[in-house]
């Protein structure tokens, strides 16, 4: 996968995680929805100006956007989390912490 595709996937994942539609993000970044779609599927690469607008519209940082440790698929992430939960479940203190974290996330 090339850099255009990786960056596009990351932008799409951040948009979805923030509960935004393509229309909402494109409006906030002052770009067309077609342009955003092209970026998200790796068809178009962003200009520096568009990248700056997207970073502001996503309320993120350049560092977070370009972090490569978050390029796992949702399936891979879910598998890892499921395995981690199995391990954590053997430790009551850690299980209690995990429960509180999950409850806190569910309130958002």
| Percent with pLDDT over 70 in the chain | 94
Q: What is the mean pLDDT of the chain?
A: 90
Query: Is the pLDDT reported for residue 70 higher than 70?
Result: no
Residues 15 and 64 in one domain: yes
Neighbouring C-beta atoms of residue 5, cutoff 10 Å:
14
Residues 64 and 83 in one domain: no
Specify the range with the lowest mean pLDDT, choosing from 3-17, 30-44, 71-85.
71-85
Q: Identify the pLDDT of residue 2.
A: 82
Q: Identify the pLDDT of residue 51.
A: 94
Residues 25 and 43 in one domain: yes
Residues 19 and 52 in one domain: yes
Confidence band for 99, pLDDT divided at 50, 70 and 90: very high
CA-wise closest residue to 55 among 45, 47, 46, 65: 65
CA-wise closest residue to 28 among 71, 60, 70, 65: 60
Query: Is the pLDDT reported for residue 53 higher than 80?
Result: yes
Neighbouring C-beta atoms of residue 31, cutoff 10 Å:
20
Residues 14 and 66 in one domain: yes
Confidence band for 73, pLDDT divided at 50, 70 and 90: confident
Q: Identify the pLDDT of residue 65.
A: 86
Token look-up 């092209």 returns 38
Range 73-84 average pLDDT: 86
CATH number at residue 9: 1.10.260.40
């Amino acid at each position: 996968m090339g850099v255009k595709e990786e960056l596009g996937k990351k932008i799409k994942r951040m948009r979805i995680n923030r509960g935004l539609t393509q229309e909402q993000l494109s409006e906030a970044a002052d770009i067309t929805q077609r342009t955003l779609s092209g970026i998200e599927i790796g068809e178009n690469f962003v200009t520096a100006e568009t990248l700056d607008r997207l970073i502001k519209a996503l309320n993120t940082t350049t560092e977070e956007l370009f972090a490569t440790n978050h390029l796992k698929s949702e399936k891979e992430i879910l598998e890892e989390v499921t395995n981690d939960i199995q391990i954590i479940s053997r430790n009551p203190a850690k299980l209690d912490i995990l429960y509180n974290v999950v409850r806190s996330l569910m309130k958002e």
